[in-house]
Amino acid sequence: MSKTEQLYKTSRFLKRTMRVCYPAEMGRIVLRTELDWNRNVEPLSAKDGIFTFELEARQPFLYFKPCLVQGKEFHWGRGANYLLLMTEEDLRPSYPYFFGSDQGTFSRLVEFPSKILGRTHKLRVYLPPGYYENTLASYPVIFMQDGQNLFFPQEAFMGSEWKVDETNATMKAMNAVDDVVIVGIYSGDRMKEYTKPGYEKYSRSLVQELIPAAEEQLRIHRSRRFRTCWGSSLGGVVSFHTVWQYPETFASAACMSSTFSFQDDLMERVLSEKAPDVGFYLDSGWPGDNYEVTASMAMALIQSGWRYGHNLIHLCFPGAEHNEAAWGMRLHLPLQFLHGAVARASRVKHPVLGELAYRQ
């Protein structure tokens, strides 16, 4: 943590406040910054576990670490140094942790009965590091289809997992995205439940059964803005349908290499129905990875009022194949679009997806 030569400078001092949230009964929070890693920065105020700091620097960013003072004991925050953007409004509190592993944790495989589907759901949940320690934090939640392919090679199709937890950890170390809780929903009969008409019941089960159970057991945000649905191939189709059908419950979907128009009427609905306030990330490889139908869906959304870069992203990847390895390689992109710092700040300034609720 030694001081390095300052390469990036502004012509004037930039000043901003920031908040660090940590249970007050656990100790007192101070900061150490790259301006002087040996000097404490004391909070301007501390109330109910919210420690507010004011920082000033002649540079556009500042690396820092929250530190915990417990009597004579001093603990550095775990994980990579935090990145403070001096040009950002104070809307993103930090939720540090000081003990335990830098890695996230997984739940056991949970079996959950569905009356709607007449079968049992299987689920596994990824929890970010510090989840059990910093109980002031609540998290956005991603419901991901084909949960068996997300985390462990021994469960994944052909032994190839998405490496969701590794990608999320890397993006968090970069301070590029917020921490998220990921609920991996293991698939049943994909051909039936991920296409029309079977996806009607599947989506209803997700909304009426799985989400209430998740909110009862997990510290996740209750606002739809922080609830998204993701999938690939047929999983992208059912994710799109779920968000379109239940915009009061979900704000966005990430649909990778989706088989639009195979056994669904989603494109016709986009072109004929009133546009809900939801956002989409769409992508595909080329050739042989549903490129044409994905581009057609993106264009249908544009014709129906979506704005590229605002509530819609469409990307294509020459040479990318239709498999878990390819989807895992580009997973960082929907994470940035839907949960990234810069994207979210833009949507606060130009409201979409209920983003104004974040100011409260």
Cα distance between the two ends of the chain: 35
Q: What is the tally of structural domains in the chain?
A: 2
Tokens of 348: 């606060």
Domain boundary among 29, 54, 85: 85
Q: Convert the pLDDT of each residue in 115-143 to its tens digit.
A: 999 999 999 999 999 999 999 999 999 99
Asked, for residue 57, whether it belongs to a domain, the answer is yes
Full residue range of the structural domain in which residue 176 is found = 105-359
Tokens of 229: 């649905």
Check: CB of residue 202 under 8 Å from CB of residue 118.
no
What CATH number does residue 332 fall under? 3.40.50.1820
| % of the chain with per-residue pLDDT over 90 | 83
Same domain, 286 and 140: yes
Same domain, 121 and 76: no
Asked, for residue 95, whether it belongs to a domain, the answer is no
Domain boundary among 57, 85, 113: 85
Domain boundary among 28, 53, 85: 85
* pLDDT score, position 5: 63
Same domain, 120 and 223: yes
What CATH number does residue 34 fall under? 2.60.40
Q: How many other CB atoms are there within 10 angstroms of residue 199's CB atom?
A: 24
Q: Convert the pLDDT of each residue in 164-206 to its tens digit.
A: 888 988 998 898 998 999 999 999 999 999 999 999 999 999 9
Same domain, 60 and 119: no
Asked, for residue 34, whether it belongs to a domain, the answer is yes
| 73-100 exposure pattern, b = at least 16 Cβ within 10 A, e = fewer | eebebbbebbebbbeeeeebebbbbbee
**Residue type (1 letter), 293:** V
Same domain, 67 and 172: no
pLDDT at 2 over 60: no
Burial class (CB in 10 A: 0-12, 13-18, 19+), 149: buried
Single pTM value for the model: 0.93
**Residue type (1 letter), 329:** M
Residue that wins the pLDDT comparison between 165 and 99: 99
Q: Convert the pLDDT of each residue in 30-52 to its tens digit.
A: 999 999 999 999 999 999 999 99
Closest to 260 measured CA to CA, from 293, 301, 298, 238: 293
Element housing 29 (H / E): strand 28-33
